[in-house]
Structure 1
């Protein structure tokens, strides 16, 4: 009763099945009855004609009858007329009575059959609903795993399972990220606390300057870590208002902003315009250049090329095991210290690159170079309006050089 009051899909399907079945059956029965009535009319007429009275001779009195006699209207016996009329009426009345009873019975049968059929068809949906209501962060591993024919309902269940797979991976990654971020933030906080409690406990003047330098260094590292976390979160969130961006101009700006630190940087670009966020893309290029310069050998080389909507950054750094290349794109992963021995990096550089690339529907790949170093490629999608790209690139380049 509550389901009927809510007018659920099962109720609507039952009403639809019953209405179609009832309309079809009623139409068929009415047509059959009408055809039966016409047939009875013809049969009654035939019976009356076969039992008609002989014709009468109509001649004036005292005259010789004509040959042939004058025809007169057909006459039927009253008994035949009464019997045929009663038979026809009785048959039609009986037929219409049976029709009404059959329609009532078919209505009840169609409602029951429609309710059963709708419930059977909607059973997979109830299973999906039950699974969705039962899911929480503690049991995201559960799946519907619907068996049966490869129809629309199985496709819906498989799509729901695929969504759960993505959600489970996202939650697992988020938990790992929170744990790593907590660990990375705990270290500078512990250093600051130790410097304050120990270094500032009645220190001499020269000790104050040393503690001040330590606190500023830790504070800058914490600030860079928080800035990296915010950029990573912004990249994972996606783009709010994408706009045309000249990649070659941004790469040149990033090259000017990132210090080379004794590393030779070769830059080769061509005018390229994509749709995206200029701030995030500038951060992507800056991170790639910074990593390529930082994790390099003294006097090494960094090659940057932009061609065919593909940005490639290659350096001459330490050797990277091929089986560990994918780890570089995970947050807080560092395979080597930089060439200065500093540990200020938080290990977010390439993970930010991957996040920003995903926000721009770009793909990031990396492979180790023979003899050491890494080659990272970012492939951007081509815009739909390819004909307008040269004009946009020229306009942006002219504005940047003017």
Structure 2
């Protein structure tokens, strides 16, 4: 929180994007050079930016992608910014000052809560087997979706997910119905079977994963849809019930608690009625743009605040295994995914797959800052056009 003396009060900024001056941008560029990690290369962003441009090329150039605070962001602004960043990538390692010369930077206010997600590995079988008792389901044929925007403009963008029982319209089956009452059992919607029900639960939170099959082959299992019911955080439930402390809460601690208390698994898992359905693929994971995600560079966002296809500079501190102190981190990221629990300025960093990614995603809860670049040349062109009018 900003503070000041009675003689010189500080004006607190309301939510929105605020222009960053060149001196501060120079400091941010310095952080990028020193805190992006030893394995970072600007060229690692090339494929992701190309995917952004492909997505943005399908959007109406002059339409507003997002309006946050006093700033309107059009799809054309995002596309031009990506195109110019793509052109600069080979030069940025030796000439990072180009980031200041070519772009006007805007700080997102208020600050961002950064969390993480990853691709979990699950032992699985593509055929029924006693060692793999828990199914993963595809979207059931009786799950129906209604576009509410067709009925009233106030409901634009909202959907109703439901099922019918005779003439009755009902919410779709919840987690208790599906996992413990057998609502979908034997109806042909199974796509794979896994060893551990808690792993199914975690896979649904992450949205995608990798199935390790008995013969050693690996299949990607990807998000296909959900039952439309509210997501409830199991971590918050455990804290509220006094079963785990808030301090140091992580996915690893949740898994350990459930493993030590199997008699509570059904009761606790069913506190989250939301349920996710999947599909199998040989590639992945894919974000909401329909394109593959880039570890440590793709983020899930609330697209009403940070539109899909946006580039952004993220500054934060990341947890380190075996250390209490977090490490400073700065990286260019790409808004390429959405998440049911990602609202407002919150951002979810895709951490990749494997043990290191699992640790980071499970422990990452850091206050962070997001800086949005916009093509300086485009803004000058827009200003010239206004003057001519």
Q: Could you tell me the TM-score, scaled by structure 2's length?
A: 0.20
Q: Higher RCO, 1 or 2 (CA under 8 Å, sep at least 6)?
A: 2
If each structure's strand is expressed as a fraction of its own residues, which one has the higher value? Answer: 2
Greater fraction of residues in helix: 1
